[in-house]
Structure 1
Amino acid sequence: MNYKTLFFAIFLIPAFFLLPACKNNHKKNQETPEYTVAAFYWPAYHYEPRAEFLFPEKKGEWEIIYNAKAKEEGHRQPKVPLWGYQNEANPEDMDKKIETALEYGVNTFIFDWYWFDKQPFLEDCINNGFLKANNGRMNFYLMWANHDATTYWDVDNPRKDSVIWDGEVDREQFNIVVNRVINQYFKDPSYYKINDEPVFCIYELNTLINGLGGPEQTKEALDYFTQKTKEAGFPGLHLQSILWEALPSSIEGVPGDSIQSQSEVLSYFGFKSLTNYCWAHLQNPDGDYEVWGDASTNMWNKFGKDFSMTYYPNITVSWDANPRFPFKTGYITNSTPQKFEKYLVKAKEFIDKNNIQPKIVTINAWNEWSEGSYLEPDTIWKYQYLDAVKNVFGTPSSKKE
């Protein structure tokens, strides 16, 4: 099941540090963290004019969070943010997020980034919030969340195939995206790089291929992206893929040998690394947190062996996407900060044992409130999930605080 598309279940849908293999801008007066702790950031908690027909109170997806209802006895809804319903497009509110993330060891945000109907979507969080507040303190990069925006959530139109905006782009739109991403984001000093190459993550490779007209056309487009990145003054482009069902396992009709594995697919297109977005893409998100987490993280060794490019482990806080649905859907139970910390330790050990460079772990998520997977403090756990990150990945001085 495409769980990111299910976001549109009540919305439209989902100077730094130097490392041996990862150079970024050095931030003065900050310790150099040994690990890149990168949390996915869902930029839906601000007013987006194009989504006003869904969120008439102009609060973004907060409107489904504070209106959420428990679907059965013992179901903890609504989730209540400790900081209140902040406006992430406001630099003052975003400043608090950046300061808190850095204090607790989250040093990179991976922003979900959208392009629908020939224009960006939900960009104000990054442009007006993060970039105006950041001032070089925290790194970031983009994950192009190029899935369809559907009306699966709509009780008056509950068809799964009813699409508001198509996630596919043709070559003309792809070239516009390339130009925008390079000039508006790659050139920002805080944009995250590996070996000086800007990292750009693509969520649905299948969708990209379909929109561009096939694998050969897609390879040509991605080669163009790399060339334009070089022309902008970078040594290359670091393409990163999300590993899940939207990553094809074979490609037919390309010149040369047949491509019959996901690793070969990624190599053909020039991808250099991959990670997961969340455990919901690996195991059905229903039931006990540790059962779910053990099954998901036990797949890491296979991922490391199956792919010729670097696999970065992913940790998921929890899962409960019920606020987006008028009906009950499966959710994770018995999740706690202490159990979450166990998997952070497992990720650190996996990175060290396999000598993964740079040392990157991705976390779902900083603020997926409507999917029940967030590091931001709520009224139940307060800062305990962030404490877990600091316990495992915090710098020596932060652990002393």
Structure 2
Amino acid sequence: MSKPVEVAVYYFPNYHVDKRNEAWHGKGWTEWELTKRAEPRFAGHDQPKVPLWGYEDEADPAVMSRKIDAAADHGVDTFIFDWYWYEDGPYLDRALEEGFLGADNNSRLKFALMWANHDWMDIHPAQRSTPYNILAQGTVSREAFTQATDHMIRTYFTRPNYWRVDGKLYFSVYELMSLVKGLGSIEATREALDDFRARVRAAGLGELHVNAVVWGVQILPGEQKITNGTELLAALGVDSISSYVWIHHQELPTFPETPYAEISAKSTEDWSKFSAMYGLPYLPNVTMGWDSSPRTVQSDGYENLGYPYMGMLSGNTPAQFELSLVRMKQFLSQELNGFPAFTVNAWNEWTEGSYLEPDTKNGMAYLEAIKRVFG
């Protein structure tokens, strides 16, 4: 780490053509289609969100180059890519492999992976009826785990701008429980992670830093030896924990909207709680906003039925976002969490209402807030 505080932003790569999406949704489909079709679901609802740069193809290196410059110019240090690999191979990988790695200015940002190993659900868009069909299972076998991690070592970890924490390659797992379930047991998962670390060393790349997103730290039904999350993390040899988005930890008490300022204040309390809870370094999060209504069928009634038919945050102005950043800076100055970095949700979660990319309403205001506080 080089800056006093490192700003790492989650990047959601569903804004380019992918062969799975074409099989599920039709030729040329990307999640921009949901962004374009979003409508106000009640009086005063701020939809649709319109990207200032247009509905661009993030797998185009020239397009990604502009994103990199905008991020780097405003104090962002790292993109943490939501990274997908299922039993039968990769998904949504072209934004990183063709766009980011193909951009001639990619050295301006570091990058890292968060293995988004959740089930991929048929919610693009979601109908009111539940449960939703599972299009791809998040659990993977040991063979698929080895294939995926070999690909990481070969394709990403060798890059000079891959993000390191205390000199170690940062690798995050979104759903620790899914990893354990797929690999068969806690013991088998520890062995797989130890083998992953050994292969990183054998490649001459040093040590691996394994991070777990804290909301996925759960105990599987029937587990007898491990009784709490702290024991699970220790048994697996996890190096740190992180948060992905405030909504994982905070219920939205009013529907359809809860004030952003209210959830921001509660989430600030979480930073100290999670820093102390597990006895591990903790990467806290600031969330820009929340509105998952674009992922619903727009002609269906909008009621509080569960994700993505759920409440949203209101009043997430650039000024309120900046206040959250100031609180984060104050928290990190206390050195309670183990390392001087935090995450932001997100660079481009347009259909969940959490994005730093400029829109036609606020322009670069959210990025400018980061620059003022951390640039």
Q: TM-score by structure 1 length?
A: 0.86
Deviations along 1:137-157, whole A, 9 cap, x unmatched? 210000000001112456679
Q: How does 1:124-143 map to 2 (within 5 A)?
A: 124-133=94-103, 134-143=105-114
Distance 2:374 2:73 in 1: 11
Asked if 1 retains the 8 angstrom alpha-carbon contact of 2:275 and 2:337, the reply is no
Asked if 2 retains the 8 angstrom alpha-carbon contact of 1:45 and 1:62, the reply is yes
Corresponding residue for residue 328 of structure 2: 347
Match of 2:60 among 90, 105, 119: 90
- Offset, 1:50: 1.2
Sort the Cα spacing of 1:293 and 1:166 in 2 relative to 1 into closer, same or farther, 3 A: same
Sort the Cα spacing of 1:34 and 1:265 in 2 relative to 1 into closer, same or farther, 3 A: same
Asked if 2 retains the 8 angstrom alpha-carbon contact of 1:110 and 1:142, the reply is yes
Unaligned runs of 5+ in 2: 303-308
Q: Give the secondary-structure state (helix, strand or coil) at the position aligned to 1:354.
A: coil
Distance 2:210 2:50 in 1: 36
Deviations along 1:147-199, whole A, 9 cap, x unmatched? 01112456679432521111110111111111001111111111001232111
Q: How does 1:1-400 map to 2 (within 5 A)?
A: 18-19=1-2, 33-56=3-26, 58-133=28-103, 134-152=105-123, 158-244=129-215, 246-249=216-219, 258-285=225-252, 286-326=257-297, 327=300, 328=302, 329=309, 330-354=311-335, 356=337, 358-394=339-375
Asked if 1 retains the 8 angstrom alpha-carbon contact of 2:275 and 2:336, the reply is no
Asked if 2 retains the 8 angstrom alpha-carbon contact of 1:367 and 1:376, the reply is yes
- Offset, 1:70: 1.1
Distance 1:45 1:106 in 2: 21
* Residues paired across the two proteins, number: 360
Sort the Cα spacing of 1:156 and 1:171 in 2 relative to 1 into closer, same or farther, 3 A: same
Distance 2:41 2:132 in 1: 25
Unaligned runs of 5+ in 1: 1-17, 20-32, 395-401
Q: TM-score by structure 2 length?
A: 0.91
Amino acid in the other structure paired with 2:355: Y
Amino acid in the other structure paired with 2:116: A
Sort the Cα spacing of 1:156 and 1:376 in 2 relative to 1 into closer, same or farther, 3 A: closer
Note the aligned Cα RMSD (angstroms). Answer: 1.9
- Offset, 1:250: 7.6
Asked if 2 retains the 8 angstrom alpha-carbon contact of 1:198 and 1:237, the reply is yes
Distance 1:68 1:277 in 2: 24
Deviations along 1:184-239, whole A, 9 cap, x unmatched? 11111110012321110000011011111111111111111111111111332100
Say which is worse superposed, 297-306 or 77-86, in terms of deviation. Answer: 297-306
Deviations along 1:268-289, whole A, 9 cap, x unmatched? 1111111110001011244110
Distance 2:236 2:202 in 1: 20
Moved over 6 A (4+): none
- Offset, 1:45: 0.5
Distance 1:347 1:320 in 2: 22
Sort the Cα spacing of 1:112 and 1:155 in 2 relative to 1 into closer, same or farther, 3 A: closer
Deviations along 1:109-146, whole A, 9 cap, x unmatched? 00000012411001000011000114422100000000
Q: Give the secondary-structure state (helix, strand or coil) at the position aligned to 2:333.
A: helix
Distance 1:146 1:382 in 2: 33
